[in-house]
Amino acid sequence: MFRPTAIRRIAATASRMNSQTIQSPQILDHALEISSAQKIAERGFIDAIGKTPLIRLNRLSAETSCTILGKAEFQNPGGSIKDRAALYVVLAAEKASLLSAGGTVVEGTAGNTGIGLAHVCRAKGYKCVIYMPNTQSQGKIDLLRLLGAEVHPVPAVPFDNPENYNHQAKRHAEHLENAVWTNQFDNTANRQAHIETTGPEIWAQTQGRIDAFTCSTGTAGTLAGVTRFLKEKSGGTVKSFLADPPGSVLYSYISSGGKLEDRSGSSITEGIGQGRVTDNLKPDIDLLDGALHISDEKSIEMVYRCLDEEGLYLGASSCLNVVAAKEVAEKLGPGHTVVTMLCDGAYRYADRLFSRKWLEEKKLLTAIPKHLEKYIVLP
């Protein structure tokens, strides 16, 4: 039994705690300001897409004497940046009267666009069919099926092969009534999503105080759309850089002025890297100020660094972007602000990225600093 004096002390302590805020009033007011700006997602899932925060990467900012910011696209309701493109390609199909109630959306995707489309289709009442390379993680395939999508994993072959997953998706849609192949790689509604939403969000969040933007590309919708908006809004002062993994042609293509297309090697990253210049990229490729080649060793090290130093559980493509942002900051010098995209979290890749066996198979174990090996928790 508690004595009356003990009870009074507990009550007094609780009262003092309730009268003191844990965070400063300024921080709480800022949080309320953000919540108020976001309002209610009146149309449900689709209105929750976008409006993601910019996160300051403190350790890397301190190392470079710059401000390095990552746009937290993993906070989209479908878990990735691809929710934006998924919504816009469906809206474009509706606007063009290519899709009506009860219709079917068909896409070829390496993963996250398919997940975004599956969510959007569920929210809007459409069927969803996905063709994807059979090299993608089982977790992505399982999630697509859990979301009600019909999934066809097919052999991974180059784009110029008629059995490429994109061409198979197109043929599938052509044989259905009231169906559309959303064609994410060359459908410029993808790029438009980032001209209308991502780019303006970055400009508003930084209050126009941004010196450079960098990200990797698969379809190139994000890179092209954000670059186009920031270049026009800033009068050309914001620099933009492509970040490219091994196995992609774009680094060599941009670095050589379009004269060389070297596609050597392969990468652990999923959904980025490209063997051609897509229609999303073509209008804006000349706006780019350069390109960076980011090795898998650097990307996997940054996966572990972001977890340990920033508390951010990010996928490999996000961390490739972070490496690129750090290198751009070092290139520009102290005092600059660099923005990149944190495309998605590590949840869909954990069975690989934190597996000792997988890291050994990919010859990446030695890329993990010794003090970070504690995060390798899977056999």
51 flagged as catalytic: no
* 172: amino acid identity, one letter: H
Instruction: Note whether 299 and 245 are within 8 A (CB).
Output: yes
Those residues whose C-beta lies under 8 Å from the C-beta of residue 250, and which sit 6 or more positions away, are 217, 242, 244, 273, 274, 277, 291
Task: Provide the CB-side half-sphere exposure for 197 (13 A, CA).
Answer: 25
Reference 144, options 170, 106, 174, 177; nearest CA is 106
CA distance 182 to 263: 27
**Residue 197 DSSP code:** I
Beta bridge partners of residue 290, listed in sequence order: 241
Three-state SS across 317-339? HHHHHHHHHHHHHHHHCCCCEEE
Q: Token match 């804006």: residue?
A: 284
Pairing verdict, β 150-154 and 337-342: unpaired
Which is catalytic among the residues 39, 51, 71, 82? Answer: 82
Reference 196, options 228, 173, 220; nearest CA is 228
Beta bridge partners of residue 104, listed in sequence order: 127, 179
Q: What is the CA radius of gyration of the chain?
A: 22
CA distance 358 to 144: 24
296: left (phi over 0), alpha (psi -120 to 50) or beta: alpha
Sequence-ordered strand ranges (E) for 140-211: 150-154, 179-181
**Residue 182 DSSP code:** -
DSSP for 91-132, written as a single string = HHHHHTTS--TT-EEEEE-SSHHHHHHHHHHHHHT-EEEEEE
Which residues are the active-site residues?
A: 82
